[in-house]
């Protein structure tokens, strides 16, 4: 299953007529330029898990992952959106 299809399934699996009203998954652009991927973990099986990862190859080749147990945040340069979502998938699958 490709990563985007996996993300759609993860979202659907967590929708329970309550979670989706208070929690979100969002993808926004950054002005440096880059991406921010965010997924709320409250009331999921992944709530409480923490992670911190920083990858700096060059000024234009980087990404950061941070999860405080409530929210998974991933930031990266303009080419990293697939990697940010893949890192979220890895985070979830490692907990399963």
What is the domain count for the chain?
Answer: 1
Look at the alpha carbons of 93, 5, 29, 20 in this order and tell me if their dihedral is positive or negative. negative
Residue 18: its pLDDT value, please? Answer: 80
CA contacts within 13 A on the Cβ side of 24: 6
Neighbour tally for 92: CB within 10 Å: 19
Burial tier of 34 (Cβ tally within 10 Å: 0-12, 13-18, 19+)? buried
Tokens of residue 64, six digits: 């950061």
Residue 38: its pLDDT value, please? Answer: 97
Is 60:77 a contact under the CB 8 Å cutoff? yes
**73 is in which domain, residue-wise?**
3-95
CA–CA distance, 52 with 68 (Å, rounded to integer): 9
> Which residues in the chain come in under a pLDDT of 70?
none
CA–CA distance, 32 with 49 (Å, rounded to integer): 29
């Amino acid at each position: 299953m490709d990563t985007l299809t996996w993300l759609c399934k993860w979202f659907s699996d967590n929708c329970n007529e309550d979670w989706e009203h208070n929690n979100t998954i969002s993808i926004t652009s950054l002005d440096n330029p880059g991406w921010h991927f965010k997924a709320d973990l409250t009331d999921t099986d992944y709530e409480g898990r923490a992670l911190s990862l920083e990858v700096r190859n060059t000024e234009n080749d980087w990404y950061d992952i941070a999860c405080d147990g409530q929210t998974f945040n991933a930031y990266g340069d303009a080419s990293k959106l697939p990697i940010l979502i893949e890192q979220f998938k890895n985070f979830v699958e490692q907990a399963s």
